[in-house]
């Protein structure tokens, strides 16, 4: 793998970061995968804690392009172990398809991948049900990826779902899967080849049995090791804060906890073990699917951001809705997660945008909302009016800039204003699409 710029005696994010978590701060698609990819080069263990194949990361390694939806990004580091945690909903066929991508790059990748015995199994039936439910909503559709995430989490909550550990006891697995699929047929009037599905999963069980682990014990041992020696744990989120099932713009959210609390419940780790929390912030704001979006642009600036930023979904290919940077979202996100620092991505996309606005507050009925408060209902949020501050724009191509001081003064001021408004330092700045198009700041 290509080496990073020299940063001797430095931990993962320049702080006491033997255990680093990377979270999205907005509505997803912030570009988390790039920083995860960089930090995973030094990680000994990389873990996913939530979601399923409804989030996508695209990585380019040694001129090879990989698109991952389930695999942790650390899988491209041949010295890194990778864990799919208990909070993930796992569609085994998708997982194996992603591993197939890697066979020429690393034929031994499966041996470095571990699956929590408590992770939920997502079946093709869940994907069928997802499509049915979305169609039933018609004009109130949330805009799901139809990957079966919600129905699988629903079965987890109603306690009739299956988990990876069930594959270790095939007679019990057969009974549970037959009961679940019969329930799906009855409830949704769909036809399923139950016996064929059972047989298929017997094959998966044989293939994966050596990779199924008690993830609680695995994480505990890893944390102990990180406290004794040079051993780094990296955790990556799927989706982002504003899509959190509890704290996002409900009901236009995903079906899992995407915030820092989800790390603890999705991996079985105590909160005090986490040393560094990096929030990934796109330099503007995007959203896919339905739901309120206070700073959304419907003019030429929105089109310019979409085209310059290539804002089309990794998972769905859908064009993303684009808008100005939203400071109330970032303040709220920081309240929930307690970020150590920010990684600002796609700053280069703002080059050449002639008018540059930042939303610094919301008003409802002419009254400015309190810092950190975010409306809990769609109805209240739809009444919120963004209060904008105009920033100085810049035209320079910054894609080859290697230090903060080399950035145009206007771009420096944009970053410094973001820090001042949120109270969170910016440690990483993305200035281009390449793997190393990243500026590092505040190195300890």
User: Annotated binding residues for IMP, as ranges?
Assistant: 29-32, 54-57, 145, 159, 239, 254, 318
Please state, in angstroms and rounded to a whole number, the distance separating the CA atoms of residues 373 and 425. Answer: 21
Annotated catalytic residue within 57, 69, 91, 275 = 57
Q: Is 29 a catalytic residue?
A: yes
Alpha helix positions (H), 160-259 = 170-188, 194-208, 215-228
Pairing, β 233-236 against β 45-48:
parallel
Quote the crossing angle between the two packed helices 194-208 and 170-188, to the nearest 10°: 140
Q: Are 37 and 73 in contact (CB under 8 A)?
A: yes
Please state, in angstroms and rounded to a whole number, the distance separating the CA atoms of residues 250 and 273. Answer: 30
Q: Is 57 a catalytic residue?
A: yes
Q: Are 237 and 57 in contact (CB under 8 A)?
A: no
Enumerate the known binding-site residues for substrate: 314-320
Q: Is 371 a catalytic residue?
A: no
Residue 12 is classified by DSSP as T
Please state, in angstroms and rounded to a whole number, the distance separating the CA atoms of residues 312 and 288. Answer: 9
Q: Are 252 and 291 in contact (CB under 8 A)?
A: yes
Strand partners, 312: 319
Enumerate the known binding-site residues: 28-34, 54-58, 145, 159, 239, 254, 314-320, 346-348, 430-432
Annotated catalytic residue within 156, 275, 282, 331 = 156
Nearest to 280 by CA among 317, 321, 313, 239: 239
Please state, in angstroms and rounded to a whole number, the distance separating the CA atoms of residues 394 and 409. Answer: 8
Please state, in angstroms and rounded to a whole number, the distance separating the CA atoms of residues 97 and 66. Answer: 11
Q: Write out the catalytic residue numbers.
A: 29, 57, 156
């Amino acid at each position: 793998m290509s080496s990073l710029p020299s940063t001797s005696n430095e931990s993962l994010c320049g702080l006491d970061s033997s255990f680093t978590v990377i979270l999205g701060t907005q509505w997803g698609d912030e570009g988390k995968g790039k920083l995860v990819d960089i930090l995973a080069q030094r990680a000994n263990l990389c873990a996913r804690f939530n979601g399923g194949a409804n989030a996508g990361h695209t990585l380019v390694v040694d001129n090879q392009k990989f698109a991952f939806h389930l695999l942790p990004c650390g899988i491209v580091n041949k010295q890194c172990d990778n864990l799919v945690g208990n909070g993930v909903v796992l569609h085994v066929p998708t997982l194996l398809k992603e591993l197939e991508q890697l066979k020429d790059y690393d034929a031994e990748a499966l041996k470095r991948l571990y699956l929590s015995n408590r992770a939920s199994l997502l079946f093709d039936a869940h994907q069928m049900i997802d499509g049915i439910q979305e169609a039933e909503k018609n004009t109130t559709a949330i805009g799901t990826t139809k990957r079966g995430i919600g129905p699988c989490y629903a079965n987890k909550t109603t306690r009739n779902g299956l988990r990876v550990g069930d594959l270790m006891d095939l007679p019990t697995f057969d009974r549970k899967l037959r009961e679940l699929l019969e329930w799906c047929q009855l409830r949704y009037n769909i036809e399923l080849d139950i016996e064929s599905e059972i047989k298929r999963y017997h094959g998966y069980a044989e293939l994966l049995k050596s990779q199924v682990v008690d993830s609680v014990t695995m994480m505990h041992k890893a944390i102990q090791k990180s406290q004794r020696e040079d051993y780094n744990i990296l955790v990556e989120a799927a989706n982002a804060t504003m899509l959190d099932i509890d704290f996002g713009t409900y009901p236009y959210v995903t079906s899992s906890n995407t915030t820092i609390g989800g790390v603890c419940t999705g991996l079985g780790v105590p909160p005090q073990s986490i040393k560094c929390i990096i929030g990934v912030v796109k330099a503007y704001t995007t959203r896919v699917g339905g739901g309120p979006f206070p700073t959304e642009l419907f003019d030429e600036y929105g089109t310019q951001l979409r085209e310059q930023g290539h804002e089309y979904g990794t998972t769905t290919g859908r064009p993303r809705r684009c808008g100005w940077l939203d400071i109330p979202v970032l303040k709220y996100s920081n309240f929930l997660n307690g970020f150590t620092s920010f990684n600002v991505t796609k700053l280069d996309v703002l080059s050449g945008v002639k008018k540059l606005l930042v939303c610094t507050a919301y008003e409802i009925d002419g009254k400015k909302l309190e810092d950190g408060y975010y409306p809990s209902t769609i109805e209240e949020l739809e009444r919120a009016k963004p209060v904008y501050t105009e920033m100085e724009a810049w035209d320079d191509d910054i894609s080859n800039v290697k230090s903060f001081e080399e950035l145009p003064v206007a771009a420096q001021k944009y970053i410094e204003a973001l820090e001042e408004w949120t109270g969170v330092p910016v440690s990483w700045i993305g200035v281009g699409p390449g793997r190393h198009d990243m500026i590092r700041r505040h190195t300890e």
